[in-house]
Structure formats: C-alpha cells, structure tokens
Amino acid sequence: MIYAVGGALLGLLALSLPVGAVLFLLGFGVDHFFSAFPLIRGLGERVWGSSNSGLLIAIPFFVLLGELLVRAGIAERTYRALDAWFSWLPGGLIHANIGTATMFSATSGSSVATAATVATVAMPQAERLGYDQRLFAGAIAAGGTLGIMIPPSINLIIYGFLTETSIPRLFLAGLVPGLMLAVLFMVITAALCWLRPGLGGPRRGASWAVRLGGLRHLVPLVALFAVVIGSIYGGYATPTEAAAIGVAMAAGIAAVNRGLSLKVLRDSLLGTVRTTAMVMFVIVGAYFLNYTLAAAGLGRELIALLDGLGLGPYQTLFVVVALYIVLGFFIETMALMIATIPIVVPVITGMGFDPIWFGILMILLVEMALITPPVGLNLYVVQAARAEGSFSDVMIGAVPYVLGMFAMALLIIAFPQIVLFLPGL
C-alpha cells in the first residue's frame, strides 16, 4: 500500500491537479481499494473537525497582516533604509534584499509573499547598477524562504495544529535558526562577491545621518513584531488574538504612511480570501486522506518497513531528510508538509526525537524545496518580477543558498540546542 499511495500521489500531482483535489482523490482511492469498511461515511465529520478550530483563524489574520503591509508601500521604505546600512559590504545591495526579506518574514508569515514583495522593489535596481542578475535574483528567492521560519509563520501554525504541538514554542524555536540562516545568506553573498567582485555591483556608503534617519521606517515593523510575538510569549494573547492585534497595527502603520485606501483594503481582503481558501482546501483534504490511511493501516506498514531495514534513530532521520529533499523537487511545499506530517512525525518522535526540533528541521527542508526546480515557487515569483532573462538564471543564482540551507540542516541535527534553547527557557 505504501508504494501504491506514493506512486498515485506523484502521478496525480504530475497531472497539475489542485493539491487539495489530489488529497481527496487519494483518500477515496485508499477507501475503495485498501479498506474493508466504508470510510467515506466519515467524510463529513473529518471536514467539519479539521476546519472547526479557532486556532486556524490565525491563518487569514496573518495573511491579511502581510497583504496590508505589502500593498501599502511599506516594503519600499524598508528597502531604502536597509540599503543605507548594508550596501557597503561586498555584494552591496544584495544584502539589502536579504535584510528586507528578513524584516518582512517577521510580519507576513509567507515565503512566497515575502519573495514577491522584495522582488518587486529590488529587481529594477539590479540591471541599473550592474549587478550579476543570477546572484541578485537567487538571493531574493532564498531570502523569501525565511517567511516560513521566522515567526509568525503560517507553516509553523499548520505543523502545530496537525501535531498538537505548542505553537508559541514553535515560534520561539524558529527564531534563532531563522536569524542564523539570514546571517548565513549574507556571509555566502559577501564571500562570493569578495572572491569575484564583479558579481556584487558597486559598494555604496552612506552617512550616519542618512542611516539613522532611515531607522524611522524600520521602527514600525520592529514594533509590530514585538507586539505580536511578545503578546504570545507573555501569555497576554493566543496566536489568533495576536494576529488580530497585528492586523490592526498593520492598518495603523499603513494609514500613518498614507498607504491605506479603499483599493488597498479591497485588494488585501481578496488576496487573503484566495490564500486562505487554498490553505484550508489542502488542510481538509489532508485530514480526510490521513484518516483513511490510518484506518487502512499505513502507519503500521511504515513502522514495519522501517523496523525491517534495521536502521537506528539517526539513520532513519537521514532517510527522512533525503526523502524530503527528493520530494521537494516535485511537490508544492504546503502539500508536502500536510501530506507527510501525520505519517512521518509519529515515526520520528517514536524514536525519541523532539517534535518541536523536528518541526524546525522540516521547515528548513521545506524552505529548500521553495528554491529547487521544477516546483520551487520562489524561483517563479522572482522570475515573474524580472523584466528579461531566463528562468535558469534564477535557478543558478539560488544554488549557493540551497547549499547553505543544507549545511544549516546538518548544523541543527548536530546541535539540537540551536532550536531547543529558547523554548527550553
């Protein structure tokens, strides 16, 4: 059954069917071919049970928060401020790309939205200033992946919901690895541009007056992050309540910067509805599929298969890591998470690994999938923002950052306290 389900999953996705529809079709297939009982009778309960959660209301709130900031023009001001601080480094403006992505990751919760925001603002600068198009675009795609690691993260909310893991602790666990990854991206950029100065374009300095003056554009985002995350960690608000507070603050920031209008509100709400509908369709489909797989005994088959291989805990972990890397080439990241979490996480935690630690490792592997072809969404988002050039340029430019992510994954495996230190406090 394991091989049949896996083959059917890849085959249906190859047909470019919507991910939610694929999950429902697989659930119906498992019910028909592998179950002695009519599991479809539980469809209504599964659909209602998976969507009737107050925790999931945080998803549209965090999406709306990011939509408001993006459409209100906050990104351009943030970009100019970080340009003044980072463009003296080898690589120049590329560091501002990564810095802006990091700032917006701390508010939007979405990698694709973060990459689209930075690409729209930054790409027109690349050709004008003589930057290498490949590295410049690859850095934006990689920086965008931070949106699902640095809290608040929609993907971490989904992981916590599906595994019944503390979302505040997951947010806390993702903070240090996310910031370390941002610094690693900047180190990779500086090293490449130091070895080959032609990649980085001109290094530009700025006076301290300009730098300090630009901080006023960063303060609102820092304050927004502090209020949203601080209210969760301080016990003053649940993730859903904190997200609602964040939406109100984002609207206030947009209004103060004269970026709030009826058109911005309308477009933000429409974007939120589209994204939330897609996410919920996938969640409900995954819940039904996981219900049928559990009833048909796939979990027992998988455990028996792993036991038959005679692998130890870390050997099994590396098999899972390799599996996620391979699947990441072909499966969209949200679908990859939701379809595999109920199967893989019980096996990993049953071998003694911490579910919060594994959640951050999984997010890192999913981040790699965002910038690896042929399904790497961030690559397509950045390519769409370019005026010219081939898609292969973006792929090549992202390669050094993919290698950096893999090194980060190995570092997290070797030193779990990088992830568990803050939650342990």
Residue 363 lies in a domain: yes
Q: What's the confidence (pLDDT) of residue 46?
A: 61
User: pLDDT of 167-180, one tens digit each?
Assistant: 889 988 999 999 99
pLDDT at 36 over 60: no
Cα–Cα distance measured from residue 140 to residue 145, given in angstroms and rounded to the nearest whole number = 9
Q: Average model confidence (pLDDT) for the chain?
A: 80
Which position has the higher pLDDT, 387 or 166? 166
The structure tokens listed for 310 are: 């005679």
Q: Which residues contact 334 (CB under 8 A, 6 or more apart)?
A: 19, 155, 158, 279, 282
DSSP secondary structure letter of residue 144: H
CA distance 396 to 405: 15
Tally of domains within the chain: 1
pLDDT at 67 over 90: no
234 lies in some domain = yes
Q: Is 107 in contact with 63 (CB distance < 8 Å)?
A: no
Residue 360 has pLDDT above 60, yes or no: yes
Greater confidence (344 vs 310) lies with 344
Amino acid of residue 167: I
What's the domain range around 319?
55-282+298-424
> Which is more confidently placed, 316 or 37?
316
Residue in the block written with tokens 């909310």: 157
Q: Is the pLDDT of residue 282 over 80?
A: no
- 49-62 as b/e: b if 16+ CB within 10 A: ebeeeeebbbbbbb
**Dmax of the chain from CA atoms?**
74
259 has pLDDT over 70? yes
The reported pLDDT for the residue numbered 24 is: 74
Token digits of residue 117: 């925001």
Instruction: Give Cα separations from 156 to 181, 191, 356, 358, 359 (angstroms).
Output: 17, 31, 10, 11, 8
Closest CA to 159 of 382, 333, 411, 311: 333
Tally of helices (H runs) and strands (E runs) in the chain: 20, 0
Within a domain: 25: no
Note the pLDDT tens digit of each residue in 171-216: 889 999 999 999 999 999 989 888 887 777 677 777 778 778 878 8
Q: What is the pLDDT of residue 281?
A: 77
Are 417 and 357 contacting, i.e. CB atoms less than 8 angstroms apart?
Answer: no
The answer to whether residue 105 sits within a structural domain is yes
Query: 167-195 and 133-144 helices cross at what angle (nearest 10)?
Result: 170
pTM of the full structure? 0.80
Structural domain includes residue 18: no
What percentage of residues in the chain have a pLDDT greater than 90? 12
234 has pLDDT over 60: yes
153 versus 202: the higher-pLDDT residue is 153
Q: What phi-psi label fits residue 217: left (phi over 0), alpha (psi between -120 and 50 degrees) or beta?
A: alpha
Query: Does the pLDDT at position 231 exceed 60?
Result: yes
Q: How confident is the model at residue 405 (pLDDT cuts 50, 70, 90)?
A: very high
Given pLDDT bands bounded at 50, 70 and 90, which one contains residue 32?
A: low
Bigger pLDDT: 217 or 324? Answer: 324
Lowest mean pLDDT among 89-98, 214-223, 305-314, 318-327: 305-314
